[in-house]
Amino acid sequence: MSSNYTKKQLEDIIAGLNDKLDNMEKSLSELKDLTSKVTNLEELLKVSNDKYKTLNETLDERDKEVRALTLRLNSLEQHHRSWSIRVNSIHLSEEEGANSRAVKERVFEAALKPILEGAFEMGDIVEVPSASQALEYAHVLPSRDRSKPKTIIARFYSRELRGLVFKHKKSFAPREAPPPHQQPPTARGRATTVSPSSRTLRGPSS
C-alpha cells in the first residue's frame, strides 16, 4: 500500500513525534529528579531516625541516673529523719526564730528536756544532757499562717537519744508550749493529750 502523505504531512508527523519524544525525555528527567529527591529524603529520614534513637538512648540513660539519684536522695532523707524530730507547738518570738541557737535552746527547754528528765527518772539515761549536747541544730520551717506556731525541725547528735524521746513522750511530753512569757519553769510529769495524728513531737514526715 503506497503512502499518500505529502511531504508537509510527513514533516508534521515527524515534528509531532519529536515533540512527544522531547516530552518523554523531560518527564524522564523529572522522574530522575524526583527519584533523587526521594533518595535524599530517605537519607535525611535515616539520619533523623539515628538521631532519634541516640536521643532516646540518652534519655534512657538520664532516666536511670535520675532514678538512681532519687533513690539516693530518698535514702539520705530517711537517714536524716532517723536523727530528727518535728516540733509543732513551740511559740517563738521573731528574734528567736531568726537565731538558730535560740531556736535550739527553746525547743530543748520547752519540748525535749521534760521528756529527758522523765527518761532520767526511769533510769534510761545517767544524766540529762544540755541543749548543746543533745541537739546538733534546730531550724524553723517557713509558714504563711501566722496564727499558729511554726514547725521546727531539730536534729539530734544521737539516734539513741532521739529514740528515748519517742519512747517516753507519751508519759512526759508537755502539752502545747505557751508563749515564752507564759512558759513555766518545768512542764515535766504531765502526759500529753494530743492525738497520734497531731502530736507536738513527731518524726519528720515527707
Average pLDDT, integer, range 64-90: 80
Q: Are 128 and 116 in contact (CB under 8 A)?
A: yes
pLDDT confidence of residue 126? 93
Report the side by side order of strands in the sheet with 152-156. 135-140, 152-156, 84-87, 201-202
What confidence tens digit (pLDDT) does each residue in 19-33 have?
888 788 788 888 888
Nearest to 142 by CA among 97, 179, 181: 97
Residue 162: how many CB atoms within 10 A of its CB?
22
**Positive or negative torsion for Cα 134, 140, 145, 147:** positive
Residue 3 Cα distances to 11, 16, 17, angstroms = 14, 18, 18
pTM equals 0.52
Q: What is the pLDDT of residues 96-122, one digit of tens each?
A: 888 889 999 999 998 899 999 999 999
Query: Terminus-to-terminus CA distance in the chain, angstroms?
Result: 105
pLDDT at 26: 82
Label residue 204 by pLDDT band (50, 70, 90): low
- C-alpha span between 202 and 71 (Å, rounded): 24
CA 150 vs CA 27, 43, 76, 139: distances in Å: 82, 63, 24, 10
In the chain, what's the furthest Cα-to-Cα distance?
Answer: 138
Spatial neighbors of 5 by CB under 8 A, at least 6 apart, are 13
40, 51, 106 from 46: Cα distances, Å: 10, 9, 68
**142 CB-near residues (< 8 Å, 6+ apart):** 150
Sorted by sequence, the CB contacts under 8 Å of residue 157 that are 6+ apart come out as 133, 134, 135, 136
